[in-house]
Amino acid sequence: MSRLIKVKDISKKTDRLYTLDPKDLPKLPYPYEDWEDPPYPEVAEIKRKGKDISLDGILNVPVPAPETDEEKERLVAKFLEGLKKLLTVENNWTFLKPFMLSIDNCVRCNTCAEACPIFEMSGRAEIYRPLFRSEILRRIIRKHISPGGKLTAKFTGSDIDLNWETVARLAQLAYRCTLCRRCAQTCPMGVDNGLIAREIRKLFSQEMGIVPAELHEEGTVKQLETGSSTGISPMALMDLIEFMEEDITERTGLNIKMPFDKAGADILLIHNAGEFLSWPENIEAFAIIFELAGLNWTMSSDLVGYDSVNYGLFYEDVQLARVTLKHAEIAKKMGVKKVVVAECGHAHKAIMAIGDRVWVDDVNIPRESCFVTLEDIIMSGKIKVDPERNNFPVTLHDPCNITRSMGIIQPQRRVIKKICPQFREMTPHGVHNYCCGGGSGFAIMQGANFPSWRMTIPGRKKFAQILGAFTKEEFDSGVNKYVCAPCSNCKGQIRDLLTYYDAWERSRILYGGLVELIVNCMTDVREGFIEWELH
């Protein structure tokens, strides 16, 4: 059925352009060959009211469903205004060059399709082909914005109807891509379909205010107002820290006081605040390692200073810059020598790579990845480790933002190879990895029927990779296996994957970060830091 969908069908006035069917999904490897996914749930009437889900019936971005033709026309005109702004220096200097280059120069060879896990794992659904999405935008620009575009549309293949259906489905398509940029890596021209998807998201957000609540209202807005997208206020943070310090003593026998707001410290460590709530053991592990290594470090209790999250990275530049500037100002105020970004992929990219063009002038404070800091600690012998404590099968997930977008590949590997005797790589790995399936904000989108799509399509590739990293004997023997996912959002996605596929009960696969593995084998720490239970 999907083969019949063409780019120009995007403007068709139908209730649903494509219907997902679990039967189309590729089979999983051993021991999941018999796995069958349930049908995709329909969005409850109350949730879909007033929203357009006519692309594929999946809801993760609240695209309005206007009732009158006038309203539709008004929104289409607004979209077109936004698209024009996307092509101007004033409004989009931040990404204008890469955007223009990617829009102008695709030779439509479809090489990108084979690299895209969403296209592959959907059973090659045409609407998820990377070229399908970018071609819609390209045709709209050529026909409706470029001079003489309407005259040459047939010749240049830009004949596309610009109605509300086109616009609404384009918004939905922008949220069917994890922005992993694997497609860009394989493009012979260097065209970046991931960037195009982000630019579409930006247009909808910065011009029309259409953006998933998890990213905007409950994401960057909440973070800037309350200090964290989790809603943790500075006061609540201190309660959590107190609990964690007690927990450290209980689990390890160590008395560790987590330093906060220490002016002039060598290191400002900044965590994804999701860790405080979901994985406090990760925060604790960092504190144990840094304290026992004798580092002069601190965390911040300032508003936004204790949450490295920056969901602006996933959908627009204004909120992205606002959040990262807050981080920069806090680092400057504290007078730290450097900022170390803890286990969070998108925070790495926002603070280090994107921040490189925002932390300018007097807030240009050096930033470093925690993997580099940890490698120095482990390799220099500042802490003592006994790898035998980690003598179980371990594999490593590579967060896209840290590897493909920043080239940080080896530090985490050198650490894990030193402390895990049974470490093995996934295939492929490093800079050629596959996304966890929760990238670009997907991991925190839990509403309506989206989790079902996220588990079965983008997440399916990662789950297949995880299964492929372990041997049949390891599955059959029921030995505990560990997926090291050193990124908060990736960890959330892998937790959801292991839950959906019942992988802990069925196959004894657990997940966690890198620092938990380090503490688990530290000889100064009581044995058994990793608790083998899924949470």
Interface residues for other proteins in 244-263 (CB under 8 A)?
none
Tokens linked to 450: 């989206």
Stretch that binds other proteins, among 110-118, 275-283, 435-443, 473-481 (CB under 8 A): 110-118
171 binds other proteins (CB under 8 A): no
Q: Rule CB under 8 A: choose which of 105, 296, 446, 523 binds other proteins.
A: 105
Distance of CA 489 to CAs 229, 373, 429, 485, 524, Å? Answer: 13, 21, 18, 9, 30
Our finding on whether 381 is near other proteins (CB under 8 A) is no
| Binding of residue 417 to other proteins (CB under 8 A) | no
Residue 31 preceded by cis peptide, ω within 30:
yes
CA distances (Å), 213 to each of 62, 63, 228, 330, 492, in order?
8, 11, 15, 26, 18
Binding to other proteins (CB under 8 A) within 439-478 occurs at none
Pairing of strands 297-298, 338-341: unpaired
Mark 393-412 with x for binding to other proteins (rule: CB under 8 A) and - for no binding.
----------xxxxxxxxx-
- Quick count: other Cβ atoms within 10 Å of Cβ 379? 12
CB 282 within 8 A of CB 374: no
d(CA 405, CA 352): 11
Q: Residue 331, Cα to own-chain centre: how many angstroms?
A: 24
Type of residue at 142: R
Q: Confirm or reject binding of residue 166 to other proteins (CB under 8 A).
A: no
Instruction: Using the rule CB under 8 A, give the single segment among 179-187, 462-470, 475-483, 484-492 that binds other proteins.
Output: 179-187
Q: Decide: is 148 part of the binding site for other proteins (CB under 8 A).
A: no
Q: How many CB atoms lie within 10 A of CB 98?
A: 16
Q: Secondary structure of 399-429 in the HEC alphabet?
A: CHHHHCCCCCCHHHHHHHHHHCCCEECCCCC
Residue 448 in contact with residue 490, Cβ under 8 Å? no
The only residue of 91, 233, 278, 301 in contact with other proteins, by rule CB under 8 A: 91
391: contact with other proteins by CB under 8 A: no
**Using CA atoms, how far apart are residues 172 and 168, in angstroms rounded to an integer?**
7
Asked if 114 interacts with other proteins (CB under 8 A), we say yes
Q: Binding to other proteins by residue 88, rule CB under 8 A? A: yes
Q: Measured from the CB atom, is 127 or 525 closer to other proteins? A: 127
User: In the set 65, 80, 224, 238, which binds other proteins (CB under 8 A)?
Assistant: 224
The C-alpha R_g of the chain, in whole angstroms, comes to 23
Of 64-72, 220-228, 238-246, 272-280, which part binds other proteins (CB under 8 A)?
220-228
Among the residue ranges 26-34, 97-105, 267-275, 493-501, the one whose residues contact other proteins (CB under 8 A): 97-105
Q: Does 479 bind other proteins (CB under 8 A)?
A: no
Does residue 7 belong to the site contacting other proteins (CB under 8 A)? yes
By CB under 8 A, name the one of 226, 301, 364, 471 that touches other proteins: 364
Q: What is the DSSP string of 419-478?
A: H-TTEE--SS-GGGPPP-S-GGGGGG--STTHHHHHHHTHHHHHHHHHHHHS-HHHHHHT
User: Which range binds other proteins by CB under 8 A, 14-22, 183-191, 247-255, 381-389?
Assistant: 183-191
H, E, C per residue of 228-257: CCCCCCHHHHHHHHHHHHHHHHHHHCCCCC
Q: Which is nearer to other proteins, 250 or 361 (CB)?
A: 361
Binding flag, residue 87, other proteins (CB under 8 A)? no
Could you please report the per-residue DSSP string of 355-407? GGGTS-GGG---EEEHHHHHHHHHHTTSS-B-GGGG-S-EEE---HHHHTTT-
Taking the complex as a whole, how short is the minimal distance between the CB of residue 224 and other proteins, in angstroms?
Answer: 5
Q: Which of 2, 60, 102, 298: binder of other proteins (CB under 8 A)?
A: 102
Q: Is 131 in the site for other proteins (CB under 8 A)?
A: yes
Out of 208, 238, 240, 293, which residue is the one contacting other proteins (CB under 8 A)?
Answer: 208
80 binds other proteins per the rule CB under 8 A: no
- 270 counts as binding other proteins under rule CB under 8 A: no
Task: Using CB under 8 A, pick the residue from 150, 154, 384, 535 that binds other proteins.
Answer: 154
The answer to whether residue 61 forms part of the interface with other proteins (CB under 8 A) is no
- If one asks whether residue 431 binds other proteins (CB under 8 A), the answer comes out as yes
CA distance 2 to 16: 12
Is the CB of 53 or the CB of 320 nearer to other proteins? 320
Site string for other proteins, 342-361 (x = CB under 8 A): ----------xxx-xxxxxx
Q: Rounded to the nearest whole angstrom, what is the least distance from the CB of residue 209 to other proteins in the complex?
A: 4
Among 146, 185, 226, 422, binds other proteins (CB under 8 A): 185
Q: Which of these segments, 160-168, 205-213, 282-290, 480-488, binds other proteins (CB under 8 A)? A: 205-213
Q: Does 373 bind other proteins (CB under 8 A)?
A: yes
Structure tokens at 184: 């860009």
Shortest CA distance to 206 belongs to which of 58, 101, 95? 95
424 is an interface residue for other proteins by CB under 8 A: no
- Whether 497 and 437 have beta carbons less than 8 Å apart is answered as yes
Q: Distance (Å, rounded) from C-alpha 179 to C-alpha 437?
A: 10
CB of 282 to other proteins, least distance (A): 22
**In angstroms, how far is the first alpha carbon of the chain from the final one?**
39
Among 321, 378, 383, 509, binds other proteins (CB under 8 A): 321
